[in-house]
Amino acid sequence: MGSGSVGPNGAIVRQVDHVNIVVPQPYQLFQFLTQQLQIPIERPWARFPAFESGQAMVGGIGHEPITYAPGRRTAVPADAGLFAIAFQPEPLESARAELARRSIPHSVPFEFTVRYRDDPNTFTQDESAGPGERRRRWTIVTLGGLLGDDTSARKLSGWPRRGDAPGAPAVGNLLGRLASGRLGGALMARLGSARPFCFLCEFKSFDVTQSRTITTEELARRDGGPLGLIRTREIVVRARDVAAQEQRWQQLLDPVKPTPNRCWSLGDGPAIRLTEDANDGIQELVWEVGSLGRAADWLRAHGWLDQDRDGGVTIDKRPLQGIAVRLTSNS
């Protein structure tokens, strides 16, 4: 469910699905997004063995404050910030074949299944798991070498994590079942990335397009909340070696071509923009609003207006626990 037909020209990626955000108090960030900014909830806050998170939707794209391996020590910094980009693949089987054909390092396909308590105030589309509960099923494939992480590329090039090795689906199924169960926290603490990363994510328990439509319509019904939000326009990625990283992003995102300023437009979701910086990672989110003046007035009234920059408005990082979010108008 949710993936549809084979994409054009052997594409791997259809569009951005969601971003994972690691902050010291993720539940408080989730509350800020969904209560103060009135962003619709796609999945309620829940704790599972491998992670604890909830998902808020800005224009059909998930924003997921998350704790990996809750209650255990991990290599993930508590204030890592914008930590992972999840891409909706073209049908995962064909995407995996393309990853192998293009020699892009990638993991075995991890298959997850979790149950959580239903919440009438959310817009989740997951299948029922009994009275008051829902079940989410999905498969992820981690990508190596992006965001300046050569270590992940090396790790994903050898057994047992190599995604195009013989028996990779069986290994992924086993590890996914372990990660979904009581051993999930220990497994995530051991296998989780210490650096920002990217991955493919294919949901199997609900229709992704339908879910995006429902949450986008709900955001519009709320008039975009107090900021007048419309959608997430861009995810800005920074790179020390921008030429090398541009080649790697193009290898993944082909046949989509970048603009002269290194911006790839992906489906109906946000674009990926690559910019030169002293560090590698995910720099900021760009949210589109109907009126910058309205958004700035509301932020100023609450003491959350940071500054005007490049024709946009920047939200103060304090309520976002260090996350960089810039607003821009739809004009």
Q: What is the CA radius of gyration of the chain?
A: 19
The two structure tokens encoding residue 162: 């190599």
Q: Name the least confident of 7-16, 109-118, 165-174, 316-325.
A: 7-16
Distance (Å, rounded) from C-alpha 318 to C-alpha 71?
A: 25
Residue 318 has pLDDT above 60, yes or no: yes
Q: What is the pLDDT of residue 161?
A: 86
Q: Give the three-state DSSP class for 73.
A: coil
DSSP string computed for 146-214: GGG-HHHHHHTTSTTTBTTSTTHHHHHHHHHHHHHSTTHHHHHHHHS-SS-EEEEEEE-SS-HHHHHHH
Distance (Å, rounded) from C-alpha 36 to C-alpha 32?
A: 5
* pLDDT tens digit sequence for 211-229: 999 999 999 999 999 999 9
What is the β-pairing status of strands 197-203 and 133-143? antiparallel
- The predicted model gives 188-202 an average pLDDT of 93
Q: Name the residue with tokens 């709320």.
A: 222
- The predicted model gives 12-32 an average pLDDT of 98
Taking the CA atoms of residue 143, residue 147, residue 151 and residue 155 in that order, the dihedral angle to the nearest 10 degrees is: 0
Give the Å distances, CA to CA, from 169 to 28, 96, 102, 166, 240. 37, 11, 19, 8, 34
Burial-class residue 271 by CB neighbours within 10 Å (0-12, 13-18, 19+): buried
- 281 strand-pairing partners: 238
The two structure tokens encoding residue 268: 């109906």
pLDDT above 90 as % of the chain:
87
Q: Where are the alpha helices (DSSP H) in 35-138?
A: 92-101
Question: Which one is predicted more confidently, 22 or 154?
Answer: 22
Q: What is the pLDDT of residue 2?
A: 41
The two structure tokens encoding residue 47: 């704790």
* pLDDT confidence bin for 190, thresholds 50/70/90: confident
- The predicted model gives 75-80 an average pLDDT of 94
User: Omega of the bond prior to 160 within 30 degrees of 0, cis?
Assistant: yes
Return mean pLDDT, the chain: 94
Q: What is the pLDDT of residue 217?
A: 97
Residue 206 has pLDDT above 80, yes or no: yes
Residue 310 has pLDDT above 70, yes or no: no
Pick the closest to residue 195 from 285, 107, 75, 106 (CA basis). 75
Find out whether 141 and 163 touch, Cβ atoms under 8 Å: yes
Residue 331 has pLDDT above 90, yes or no: no
* pLDDT tens digit sequence for 26-64: 999 999 999 999 999 999 999 999 999 999 999 889 999
Q: What is the pLDDT of residue 308?
A: 62
Question: Which one is predicted more confidently, 161 or 218?
Answer: 218
* pLDDT confidence bin for 321, thresholds 50/70/90: very high
- The predicted model gives 185-208 an average pLDDT of 94
* pLDDT tens digit sequence for 271-306: 999 999 999 999 999 999 999 999 999 999 999 999
Cα 58 to chain center, whole Å? 12
The two structure tokens encoding residue 269: 């979701």
Distance (Å, rounded) from C-alpha 280 to C-alpha 284?
A: 12
- Domains of the chain with CATH codes: 8-213 (3.10.180.10), 222-329 (2.60.40.4320)
The two structure tokens encoding residue 221: 């019904």
Q: Where are the alpha helices (DSSP H) in the chain?
A: 26-31, 92-101, 150-155, 168-180, 184-191, 208-221, 242-253, 292-302
Find out whether 46 and 52 touch, Cβ atoms under 8 Å: yes
